[in-house]
């Protein structure tokens, strides 16, 4: 595609500003542009026009902020081949409409962080795979009592605040999110230090009371890691971290939630979204078994058994990650809550973008935003094609001979 070439996707259904509208989508240099600027100011026309999206829906690309791996890849384990592993997963995610993601590392030993973190670099997506937004570090600064599938021998307290984290992680250059339990000694200082560096903090794997959770938010945290899982259950006298959904904190608290049909009951999904609609962020929390059959896998140092799609720490009934991709989570969420199509799609696009502070570029299809989008069947939500920076990077086999592919391929001639 030549620089400054203008693409016009003609007469299509678009999710924009929470509504599905029918109009043209204009793209230049990988960015969505205002056609009025092109028509009336520049007095230019489209270089390429695509007319192949009738009865399909163009929605913002999905953003997965918590994903441990997939297709046999574990981001926390194979330190020698981590670059290849991230690229493999990034490529596979395109078929699921994911255009950006945060590779997630679970609690590991210090040596693993030293070997793996420098190799998972932030990277712009394209035909080779989804954009890498930065690493999500889930642990080891978590509650031993709410460790879930995390190895207890590596769990520790951030006694010295940010210094404790830097001692364990080494460089934080490639990090986007850190999950931390706010009740731990030194945690609030660590949260403040991370926030000053522009790193988002999620509260999770925690035994925190509501007051301790609110202190974490006041210190800079704006996320909750997989709501309801690995935290105190809701109690009417002290609702714990769950209570942050209805707390009077000054900032919007976003919360990841796993709607794979296993981790969270449909009623819990309904309670969450009716309590705090704007904060709900769908995450896959998928691990190495994503896209593969039942069997034996691992997540970091932990051995995992998958039976009928349910992943457990080997020899236990402790759930440890999902085998479900984010597009399937969107479907399950919509079915469970009977919410609108527009809202369901935003929970996997606009909401995570807002949580990360990147909604001026990603998570929506407003003018000036990156042309990262997914073409969906509006009824089944099947991913038909995925686009990054205005370039088609995936097309479903069932429509490989339709005008979508033929028109898109013509753009590169």
* Residue stretches of the annotated binding site for Zn(2+): 138, 205, 226
Of 305, 332, 325, the C-alpha closest to 317 is 305
C-alpha 185/C-alpha 159 separation (Å) is 5
Provide the CB-side half-sphere exposure for 51 (13 A, CA). 2
Angle between helices 187-196 and 210-218 (to 10 degrees): 30
User: What residue numbers does the annotated binding site cover?
Assistant: 138, 149, 205, 226, 229-230, 237, 263, 319-321
Q: How far is the CA of 40 from the CAs of 8, 128, 195, in angstroms?
A: 16, 36, 43
Among 78, 285, 327, 359, the one annotated catalytic: 285
DSSP three-state, residue 355: helix
C-alpha 201/C-alpha 181 separation (Å) is 10
Given a contact cutoff of 8 angstroms between Cβ atoms, the answer to whether 276 and 222 are in contact is no
Matching residue, tokens 């709410």: 146
Determine whether 285 is an active site residue.
Answer: yes
9's CB contacts (< 8 A; 6+ apart) are 24, 25, 26, 27, 49, 50, 53, 58
What amino acid positions are annotated as catalytic residues?
285
């Amino acid at each position: 595609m030549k620089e400054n070439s203008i693409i016009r996707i003609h007469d299509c259904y678009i999710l924009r500003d929470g509504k599905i509208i029918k109009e043209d989508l204009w793209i230049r240099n990988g960015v969505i542009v205002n056609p009025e600027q092109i028509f009336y100011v520049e007095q230019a026309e489209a270089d390429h026009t695509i007319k192949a999206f009738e009865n399909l829906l163009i929605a913002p690309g999905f953003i997965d902020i918590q994903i441990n791996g997939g297709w046999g890849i574990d981001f926390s384990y194979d330190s020698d081949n981590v670059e290849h592993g991230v690229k493999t997963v990034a490529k596979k995610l395109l078929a699921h409409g994911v255009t950006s993601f945060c590779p997630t590392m679970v609690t590991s030993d210090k040596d693993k962080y030293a070997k793996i973190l420098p190799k998972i670099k932030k990277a712009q997506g394209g035909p080779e795979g989804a954009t890498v937004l930065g690493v999500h570090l889930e642990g080891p600064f978590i509650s031993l009592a709410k460790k879930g599938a995390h190895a207890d021998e590596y769990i520790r307290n951030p006694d010295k605040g940010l210094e404790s984290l830097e001692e364990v992680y080494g460089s934080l250059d490639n990090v986007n999110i850190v999950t931390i339990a706010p009740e731990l000694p030194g945690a609030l200082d660590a949260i403040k230090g991370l926030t000053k560096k522009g790193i988002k903090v999620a509260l999770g794997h925690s035994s925190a009371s509501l007051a301790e959770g609110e202190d974490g938010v006041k210190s800079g945290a704006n996320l909750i890691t997989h709501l309801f899982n690995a935290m105190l259950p809701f109690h009417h006298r002290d609702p714990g971290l769950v209570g942050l959904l209805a707390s009077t904190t000054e900032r919007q608290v976003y919360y990841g939630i796993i709607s794979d049909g296993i981790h969270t009951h449909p009623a819990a999904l309904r309670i969450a979204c009716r309590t705090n609609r704007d904060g709900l962020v769908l995450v896959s929390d998928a691990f190495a078994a994503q896209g593969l059959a039942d069997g034996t896998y691992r997540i970091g140092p932990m051995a995992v058994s998958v039976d009928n799609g349910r992943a457990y720490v080997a020899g236990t009934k402790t759930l440890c990650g999902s085998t479900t991709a984010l597009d399937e989570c969107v479907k399950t969420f919509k079915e469970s809550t009977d919410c609108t199509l527009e809202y369901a799609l935003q929970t996997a696009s606009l909401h995570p973008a807002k949580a990360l502070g990147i909604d001026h570029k990603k998570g929506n299809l407003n003018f000036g935003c990156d042309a990262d989008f997914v073409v969906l069947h509006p009824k089944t939500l099947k991913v038909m094609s995925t686009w990054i920076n205005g370039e088609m990077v995936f097309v479903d086999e069932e429509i490989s001979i339709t005008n979508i592919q033929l028109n898109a391929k013509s753009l590169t001639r």
